[in-house]
Amino acid sequence: GQNIDQPTEMTATEGAIVQINCTYQTSGFNGLFWYQQHAGEAPTFLSYNVLDGLEEKGRFSSFLSRSKGYSYLLLKELQMKDSASYLCASTSGTYKYIFGTGTRLKVLA
């Protein structure tokens, strides 16, 4: 079957580090995407992992383990503007994307 799981909600303090986990079961897996979505807005692309390992992009990093069906998004030096939902999506083939329900992150001062 096709399934993605991620926590519903997380809370962290400004300046801290937070890790948002995502597990997936996708036939024909072709990569893992992370998006940020502020309330009432469209998702914006953050990262794409197709090979195992860590991809670093500024304050954001994403990790993938294909053998474990597991990914995480790491946010460092949290800022208030990072308060948003973070969506994990796996790909199956060229045009098929399976989205998780999103993790709502609250950053507290």
Task: Confirm if 60 and 72 have CB atoms less than 8 A apart.
Answer: no
Q: Which is nearer to other proteins, 8 or 67 (CB)?
A: 8
| Rounded least distance, CB 55 to other proteins, Å | 13
Positions in the binding site for other proteins (CB under 8 A):
4, 31, 33, 40-45, 48, 87, 89, 91, 94-102
Residue with token string 């794409």: 48
Task: Confirm if 107 and 78 have CB atoms less than 8 A apart.
Answer: yes
| Rounded least distance, CB 96 to other proteins, Å | 8
Q: Which is nearer to other proteins, 8 or 109 (CB)?
A: 8
| Rounded least distance, CB 67 to other proteins, Å | 22
At 18, list the tokens. 């937070």
